[in-house]
């Protein structure tokens, strides 16, 4: 099963994608995680991408496409995957379509998690990320057992620079301008479902699983 998760920053794409990863045994592939790893490892792509990420802008399509295409070639992605944060622009979606076509594959479904802007800002300002494994917490809605330590791996929790409020507003603007058009793009292909992103993570997961179950029953 090949899925794409769309939605503004803070919509819960990562949380939902990780839950789907557990449920269906296919990897979550997050372009943001791949880019942050490249920044951490100081690769040429990381050094270039960092200039955009720090101010909440999108990294150039060509860099992100290179990272994603390499990741999709890995053996664990053969049976399917959940793309989280990619594609984010129409050219990225077109590149993904061409790559899939080259392998005689297609996307099964695109899930767009819908969350209003003011909710996004509230959610992101409390968000903390594990420096080691990438797990995410919210200081109010999903606090770690210890203020600054990851429950899963004991890694250090930190607030990403791009989670500061001004940068979040910028990321939302970018989302509306660059990524929102993807909803019509995939709607035209008949593979998009909008999911209400308000509620507990388990409730939202259930909405997604209901959609996927219905699709599988039709297949």
Please give the backbone phi and psi of residue 210, each rounded to the nearest 5 degrees, phi first.
-60, -45
Is the Cβ–Cβ distance between 171 and 162 less than 8 Å?
yes
Active-site pick, 122, 160, 169, 207: 160
Residue in the structure block whose two tokens are 């058009």: 181
13 catalytically annotated: yes
Question: Scanning residues 101 to 120, which ones bind ligand AMP (CB under 6 A)?
Answer: none
Task: Give the chain's end-to-end CA distance (angstroms, integer).
Answer: 12
Is the Cβ–Cβ distance between 133 and 31 less than 8 Å?
no
Residue whose CB is less far from ligand AMP, 99 or 215: 99
Of 3, 6, 11, 58, the one binding ligand AMP by CB under 6 A: 58
Q: What is the dihedral of CA 70, 85, 127, 40, to 10 degrees?
A: 20
Stretch that binds ligand AMP, among 56-64, 94-102, 137-145, 189-197 (CB under 6 A): 56-64
Least distance from ligand AMP to the Cβ atom of residue 22, Å: 20
Q: What sign does the CA torsion over 174, 98, 67, 13 have? A: positive
The yes or no reply on residue 32 touching ligand AMP (CB under 6 A) is: yes
Least distance from ligand AMP to the Cβ atom of residue 58, Å: 4
The number of residues that bind ligand AMP (CB under 6 A) is 18
Of 56, 134, 144, 197, the one binding ligand AMP by CB under 6 A: 56
The yes or no reply on residue 134 touching ligand AMP (CB under 6 A) is: no
Least distance from ligand AMP to the Cβ atom of residue 208, Å: 18
Residue in the structure block whose two tokens are 């150039």: 60
Question: Scanning residues 66 to 105, which ones bind ligand AMP (CB under 6 A)?
Answer: 85-88, 92
Is the Cβ–Cβ distance between 49 and 82 less than 8 Å?
no
Q: By rule CB under 6 A, what string of x and - marks binding of each residue 152-181 to ligand AMP?
A: ----------x--------x----------
Which residues are CB-neighbours of 72 under 8 A, at least 6 positions away? 29, 81, 99
């Amino acid at each position: 099963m090949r899925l794409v998760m769309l939605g503004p920053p803070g919509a819960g794409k990562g949380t939902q994608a990780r839950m789907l990863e557990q449920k269906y045994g296919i990897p979550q592939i997050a372009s943001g995680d791949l880019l942050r790893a490249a920044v951490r490892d100081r690769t040429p792509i990381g050094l270039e991408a960092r200039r955009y990420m720090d101010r909440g802008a999108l990294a150039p399509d060509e860099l992100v496409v290179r990272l994603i295409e390499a990741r999709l070639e890995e053996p664990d992605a053969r049976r399917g995957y959940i793309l989280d944060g990619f594609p984010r622009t129409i050219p990225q979606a077109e590149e993904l379509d061409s790559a899939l076509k080259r392998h005689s594959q297609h996307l099964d479904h695109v899930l767009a998690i819908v969350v209003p802007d003011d909710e996004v800002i509230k959610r992101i300002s409390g968000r903390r990320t594990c420096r080691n494994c990438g797990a995410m917490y919210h200081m109010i809605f999903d606090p770690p057992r210890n203020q600054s330590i990851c429950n899963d791996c004991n890694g250090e929790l930190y607030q990403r620079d791009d989670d500061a409020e001004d940068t979040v507003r910028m990321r939302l603007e970018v989302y509306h301008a660059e990524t929102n058009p993807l909803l019509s793009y995939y709607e035209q292909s008949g593979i998009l479902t909008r999911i209400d992103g308000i509620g507990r993570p388990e409730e939202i997961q259930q909405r997604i699983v209901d959609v996927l179950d219905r699709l599988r029953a039709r297949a």
